[in-house]
């Protein structure tokens, strides 16, 4: 089973920061039954998931969305440049 999730950000800089923060987690997929690819396209991050079953797909989606949300929240705390 396959899933594609596109997450828009307000600007490409935020998307780039979040992408860079989550990229090291690519090796930490919760199950070996799921393959996850992540790419940044402008102000969007695209997750591509390929999984053997529903439970491993759900676990991977939950993990990546949590990491992306946390990284986005951290960029909001960054202060003024």
pLDDT for 26 equals: 80
Q: Name the helix (H) or strand (E) containing 51.
A: strand 44-51
Question: By the 8 A CB rule, do 26 and 63 touch?
Answer: no
For residue 36, which of 25, 44, 19, 21 has the smallest C-alpha distance?
A: 25
**In CATH, which of 3.30.360.10, 3.90.76.10, 3.40.30.10, 3.30.310.50 is domain 2-76?**
3.30.310.50
d(CA 64, CA 38): 10
Structure pTM? 0.82
Model confidence at 11, in pLDDT bands (50, 70, 90)? very high
The tens digit of pLDDT for each residue in 55-81 reads 989 988 998 999 999 888 888 886 555
Domain borders along the chain are: 2-76
CA gap 29, 44 in Å, rounded: 21
Q: Environment class of residue 77 by beta-carbon count within 10 Å: exposed (0-12), middle (13-18) or buried (19+)?
A: exposed
Q: For 25-47, how does the pLDDT look when each residue is reduced to its tens digit (9 = 90+)?
A: 886 655 678 889 999 999 999 99
């Amino acid at each position: 089973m396959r899933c594609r999730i596109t997450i828009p950000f307000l600007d490409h800089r935020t998307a780039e920061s979040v992408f860079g923060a989550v990229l090291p987690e690519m090796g930490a997929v919760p199950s070996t039954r799921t393959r996850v690819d992540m790419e940044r396209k402008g102000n969007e991050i695209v997750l591509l998931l390929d999984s053997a079953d529903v439970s491993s797909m759900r676990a991977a989606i939950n993990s990546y969305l949590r990491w992306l949300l946390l990284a986005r929240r951290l960029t909001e705390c960054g202060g003024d440049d």
